[in-house]
Amino acid sequence: MHALRTYDYAVVRVVPRVERGEFVNAGIILSCDVERILLASIELDEKALLAIDSRVDLDLVRGVLQSIPAICAGGEAAGDIGKLSARERFHWLVAPRSTIVQTSPVHTGQCAEPHAALDHLMQTMVRREAKA
């Protein structure tokens, strides 16, 4: 059995009309310093988002959400941000913003396996229906 590792995470939210404060959870960003990894999983429920604002620019939202896993992976594909350490990229991703894609406050947890923790967080915080 693996020893427990501490991780930090934030929920990715899509806020189509910032002034109303309504949002749909669309993913998780998870950072584990011990493992030196930064992970993201994104699953947007477009029907739920359109129920909040039928005029939302889905192409814009999809583009921003797609950039998050790329930034987590780092490297040249992530541009200048990709040159930063995993922890620096995590802090950049979770910095407060008043834009259409935001993150929750950062939370802390413990796990034996970060990928399993990411899946658990997606199941409990993002997915609306259990997948068969």
pTM of the model: 0.93
CB 112 within 8 A of CB 4: yes
The answer as to whether 24 is a domain residue is yes
The answer as to whether 76 is a domain residue is yes
Q: How confident is the model at residue 97 (pLDDT cuts 50, 70, 90)?
A: confident
First to last CA, the chain: 28
- Predicted pLDDT at 13: 98
Q: Where do runs of H (alpha helix) occur along the chain? A: 46-52, 58-73, 86-94, 114-121
Q: Which candidate, 122, 104, 124, places its Cα nearest to that of 43?
A: 122
CA pair distance 49, 70, nearest whole angstrom: 23
The answer as to whether 98 is a domain residue is yes
Q: How confident is the model at residue 51 (pLDDT cuts 50, 70, 90)?
A: very high
The answer as to whether 131 is a domain residue is no
The answer as to whether 132 is a domain residue is no
- Predicted pLDDT at 26: 98
Share of the chain above pLDDT 70, in %: 96
**What's the total number of domains in the chain?**
1
With H, G, I as helix, E, B as strand and everything else as coil, classify residue 126.
helix
Buried b (16+ CB within 10 A) or exposed e, 67-82: bbbebbebeeebeeee
Q: Is the pLDDT of residue 1 over 90?
A: no
**For range 87-99, the mean pLDDT:** 94
Domain of 31, in residue numbers = 5-126
Q: Is the pLDDT of residue 132 over 60?
A: no
CA pair distance 42, 113, nearest whole angstrom: 19
Bigger pLDDT: 84 vs 98: 84
CA pair distance 77, 67, nearest whole angstrom: 10
